[in-house]
Structure 1
Amino acid sequence: MYENKVLICKDCGNTFDFTVRDQMFYAEKGFENEPQRCRDCRGVRKTARANGNGIPSSTAGLREMFDAVCAQCGTATTVPFKPRGDRPVYCRSCYQSQNAVRV
């Protein structure tokens, strides 16, 4: 009934196998469509969704970070924006404690 198939990933264009075992799994789960992405590209999309930002983690680390000193505890930290000097900058733990007080 099932035969191994070679499919083309719609993201990277590489070929990947849709094995009999994979097809049986899809049928068992009630999936009607064949996979459109290879295992690696599916993993990247899954990680991006899990991070909640829609950005694949391979590109998430490319954001420029800036050095700063926490206005509350004096710890050296890095932040994803350039501090302007007219507003306090907090480290992660002080920022979270500031927000916990507001909620």
Structure 2
Amino acid sequence: MPGDLDAIIHAPARLRIMAALAASPEGSLLEFKRLRALLGLTDGNLGAHIATLEGAGYVAVTKDFEGKRPRTRIAVTKAGRAAYRAHVAALRAILDGDDVG
């Protein structure tokens, strides 16, 4: 029996954020502005979704400066990567008809 869908990841914007982060090499950081451009979200919308993912322990947020400009970078955590993989497996099971029942 496949696992349950993860309610935190299942929201469309958060699923897209997790997909973008999971596609990057383990341990790499994506800049907030790069994620915003990739996903076409507003600063506020993206920030709120990242805060939810961070609260669940799925992403880590690093804030620093590049020269004199503030920079926010996001990375998927080990727990986040595992939760994302489990969520994708649950979605695949549904789509493949393995979760009928």
Q: Specify which structure has the bigger relative contact order, considering alpha-carbon pairs within 8 angstroms and separated by 6 or more residues.
A: 2
TM range (shorter): under 0.3
- More helix by percentage: 2
| TM-score computed with the length of structure 2 as normaliser | 0.23
Q: State which structure, 1 or 2, has the greater radius of gyration over its C-alpha atoms.
A: 1
